[in-house]
């Protein structure tokens, strides 16, 4: 369900994709301790590839300026006969947002804009709400995701809206970055990818990096994949197919780079974290770039975001971070500036919301251990049972079938025993043929699990009264599968469960008008859903935050 691509945080490709070429470590000049640590990282890359069934993966680790080590795993062709050569392009996705922020800082130094400029000073075509309705849409606000714009609405051509006033919340918005990209093109009179290449890539020596994804470069990329059945929850071992190719020149993320160039970028980010801006920024600009990041979630104030970079911590250390997901690539970057270390990883799979963040995080831990002369730490576990796994053990029934959850999160239905895969807190997917189409979503009362919802059904725990209310006919008519042929959007299913609607069987929706709905789990969410083209009370189309999907029930 591409439309809600942040829903599932772990994913997998088909198991066959991970079986061809083992990881190759290239570590010229590495010390014995560094080599040992890098071998542990390479083993973890292989563990990831085999556990999640990932296709080609490339990793570059920087242990200081010019000291770059690479790990290559998998093949570059669809026949799985050619090992990675090391010069492939990898789509870095939203890591590109830091490149856009750098271009803005560069233009600010030349007096062509300021971060406090209202976007419409440079892009009057933007159809934004008036300033009086909630504050300005500043360049900084758009780069920080604090203007209240939706995530993936069209940036131009539609009247946009906001979920909260400027500076009064945080919501990730690719739309905002696309608007900034258009503004940069207006200011410079050039295409965005030219601006990124000229102002960021070339000064950093990233000569092989491209600021846009284009057909003419496709032979330089590893073969990429996406789910054969994107309408189902993501599971390890699910079947994959060659991913669709999509050209992109977007402010939200279109940079593609070889590992060598990303090593140079890691060095630059580490230097910025140490207060050094050369060769792109003055030292004052470098400090400005990292000053005053905003809190993303008040419940977790340690996680902040500013000008295209996430600020995180690990083992008491401050890290700079971002991930990136494209139609056919997934990437992650971590930098420990104080230690002068950085890691970037990318794999040639999209549509599953996998991000190799555990790999880049572990690379930093392993290299820090090497520098300190300590033992190599164990990597983060893969597929560990959640701490509350015991809460779900029991018998459940939907009135027709009995579902048993055994210790170890084993689901038993119709005599078949299949494990559950935790995909979010209180949410599970499984390859069980009777449960494969929807996630199982736990419902609690006084902290106790009382039911497991699945599509339009509810399995109620034995001895508990938690029956669903009847579904009104009108809501039943809204339920269905909606699809876009745009691979960026994909499809989504609307489920009527009891007297409520759920997007993807998971995201609760709340009605705000006759045909209008919003997510009910986040009061200030900017996302909007509208049902369109009704025939006998059944909508034939749905609009999700400005993107149209057609009803295609199966």
pLDDT confidence bin for 10, thresholds 50/70/90:
very low
- Which pLDDT does position 483 carry in this prediction? 96
For the chain, give the percent of residues with pLDDT over 70: 96
User: Dihedral of CA 104/109/113/114: which sign?
Assistant: positive
| pLDDT tens figures, 110-162 | 999 999 999 999 999 999 998 877 899 999 999 999 999 999 999 999 999 99
pLDDT confidence bin for 185, thresholds 50/70/90:
very high
Q: How wide is the angle at C-alpha 464 spanned by C-alphas 462 and 469, nearest 5°?
A: 115
- Which pLDDT does position 12 carry in this prediction? 31
Q: Which residues contact 526 (CB under 8 A, 6 or more apart)?
A: 148, 149, 150, 151, 161, 162, 163, 164, 171, 173, 545
Of 119, 92, 124, the closest CA to residue 104 belongs to 119
- Which pLDDT does position 348 carry in this prediction? 96
| pLDDT tens figures, 284-299 | 999 999 999 999 999 9
| pLDDT tens figures, 406-424 | 999 999 999 999 999 999 9
- Tell me how crowded residue 185 is: count the other CB atoms within 10 A of its CB: 19
Distance of CA 327 to the CA centre of its chain: 11
- Which pLDDT does position 391 carry in this prediction? 98
- Which pLDDT does position 18 carry in this prediction? 52
| pLDDT tens figures, 447-505 | 999 999 999 999 999 999 999 999 999 999 999 999 999 999 999 999 999 999 999 99
Q: Which residues contact 515 (CB under 8 A, 6 or more apart)?
A: 530, 531, 532, 534, 539
Which CATH class name applies to 10-92+220-247+255-372?
alpha beta
| pLDDT tens figures, 499-528 | 999 999 999 999 999 999 999 988 889 999
- Name the phi and psi angles at 161, rounded to 5: -145, 175
- Which pLDDT does position 22 carry in this prediction? 77
- Which pLDDT does position 440 carry in this prediction? 98
Structure-token pair, residue 324: 């990136």
Q: Give the separation between CA 460 and CA 453, rounded to whole angstroms.
A: 8
Q: Give the separation between CA 331 and CA 324, rounded to whole angstroms.
A: 5
Q: Give the separation between CA 83 and CA 239, rounded to whole angstroms.
A: 22
Extended beta strands in 193-273, E state: 225-227, 240-242, 256-257
Q: Which residues contact 13 (CB under 8 A, 6 or more apart)?
A: 52, 53, 54, 55, 225, 227, 238, 240, 349, 352
pLDDT confidence bin for 61, thresholds 50/70/90:
very high
- Mean pLDDT over all residues of the chain? 93
Q: Rounded to the nearest 10 degrees, what angle do helices 96-109 and 283-290 cross at?
A: 130
- Tell me how crowded residue 35 is: count the other CB atoms within 10 A of its CB: 15
Q: Give the separation between CA 539 and CA 496, rounded to whole angstroms.
A: 14
- Which pLDDT does position 3 carry in this prediction? 45
Structure-token pair, residue 382: 């893969």
- Which pLDDT does position 347 carry in this prediction? 96
- Tell me how crowded residue 194 is: count the other CB atoms within 10 A of its CB: 15
- Which pLDDT does position 494 carry in this prediction? 97
Question: 296 by DSSP, 3-state: which?
Answer: coil
| Range name among 36-40, 77-81, 236-240, 386-390 with the lowest pLDDT average | 236-240
| pLDDT tens figures, 248-265 | 999 999 999 999 999 999
Structure-token pair, residue 110: 């030349």
- Which pLDDT does position 122 carry in this prediction? 97
pLDDT (mean) for 380-393: 93
- Name the phi and psi angles at 30, rounded to 5: -70, 140
Q: What torsion, rounded to 10 degrees, do the Cα atoms 173, 178, 179, 183 define?
A: 150
pLDDT (mean) for 325-343: 97
- Give per-residue burial for 56-67: e unless 16+ CB within 10 Å, then b: bbbbbbbbeeeb
Q: Give the separation between CA 501 and CA 492, rounded to whole angstroms.
A: 13
Q: Read off the pTM.
A: 0.94
Please indicate whether residue 173 or residue 20 has the higher confidence score (pLDDT): 173
DSSP annotation of 111:
T
User: Dihedral of CA 252/439/502/463: which sign?
Assistant: negative
- Give per-residue burial for 172-182: e unless 16+ CB within 10 Å, then b: bbbbbbbbbbb
């Amino acid at each position: 369900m591409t439309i809600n691509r942040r829903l599932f945080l772990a994913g997998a490709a088909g198991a066959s994709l991970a079986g061809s070429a083992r990881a190759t470590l290239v570590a010229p000049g590495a010390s014995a301790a560094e080599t040992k640590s890098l071998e542990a990282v390479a083993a973890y890359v292989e563990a990831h590839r085999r556990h999640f069934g990932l296709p080609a993966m490339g990793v570059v680790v920087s242990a200081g300026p010019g000291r770059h080590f690479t790990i290559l795993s998998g093949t570059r062709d669809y026949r799985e006969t050619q090992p990675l050569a090391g010069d492939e392009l990898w789509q870095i996705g939203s890591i590109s947002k830091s490149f856009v922020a750098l271009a803005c800082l560069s233009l600010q130094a030349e007096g062509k804009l300021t971060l406090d400029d209202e976007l419409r000073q440079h892009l009057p075509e933007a159809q934004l709400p008036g300033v009086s309705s909630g504050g300005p849409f500043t360049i900084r606000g758009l780069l920080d995701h604090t203007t209240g714009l939706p995530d993936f609405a069209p940036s131009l051509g539609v009247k946009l809206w906001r979920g909260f006033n400027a500076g009064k919340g945080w919501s990730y918005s690719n739309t905002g970055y696309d608007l900034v990209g258009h503004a940069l093109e207006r200011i410079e009179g050039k295409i965005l990818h030219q601006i990124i290449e000229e102002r960021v890539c070339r000064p950093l020596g990233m000569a092989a990096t491209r600021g846009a994804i284009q057909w003419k470069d496709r032979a330089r990329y590893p073969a990429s994949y996406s789910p054969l059945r994107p309408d189902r929850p993501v599971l390890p071992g699910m079947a994959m197919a060659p991913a669709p190719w999509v050209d992109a020149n977007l402010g939200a993320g279109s940079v593609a780079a070889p590992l060598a160039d990303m090593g140079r970028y890691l060095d630059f980010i580490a230097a910025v974290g140490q207060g050094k801006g050369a060769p792109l920024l003055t030292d004052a600009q470098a400090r400005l770039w990292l000053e005053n990041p905003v809190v993303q979630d008040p419940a977790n104030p340690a996680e902040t975001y500013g000008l295209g970079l996430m600020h995180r911590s690990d083992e008491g250390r401050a890290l700079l971070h971002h991930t990136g997901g494209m139609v056919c690539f997934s990437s992650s970057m971590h930098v420990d500036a104080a230690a002068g270390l950085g890691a970037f990883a990318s794999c040639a799979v999209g549509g599953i919301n996998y991000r190799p963040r555990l790999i880049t995080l572990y690379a930093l831990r392993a290299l820090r251990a090497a520098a300190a002369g300590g033992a190599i730490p164990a990597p983060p576990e893969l597929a560990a049972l959640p701490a509350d796994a015991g809460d779900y053990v029991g018998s459940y029934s939907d009135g027709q079938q009995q579902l048993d959850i055994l210790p170890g999160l084993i689901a038993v239905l119709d005599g078949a025993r299949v494990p559950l895969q935790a995909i979010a807190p209180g949410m599970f997917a499984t390859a069980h043929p009777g449960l494969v189409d929807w996630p199982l979503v736990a419902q609690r009362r006084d902290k106790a699990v009382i039911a497991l919802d699945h599509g339009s059904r509810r399995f109620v725990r034995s001895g508990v009264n938690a029956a669903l209310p009847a579904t009104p006919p009108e809501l039943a008519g809204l339920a269905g599968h909606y699809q876009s042929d745009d691979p960026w959007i994909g499809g989504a299913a609307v489920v009527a469960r009891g007297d409520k609607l759920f997007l993807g069987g998971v995201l609760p929706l709340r009605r705000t008008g006759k045909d209008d709905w919003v997510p009910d789990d986040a009061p200030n969410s900017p996302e909007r859903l509208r049902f369109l083209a009704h025939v006998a009370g059944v909508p034939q189309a749905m609009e999700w935050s400005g993107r149209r999907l057609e009803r295609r029930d199966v």
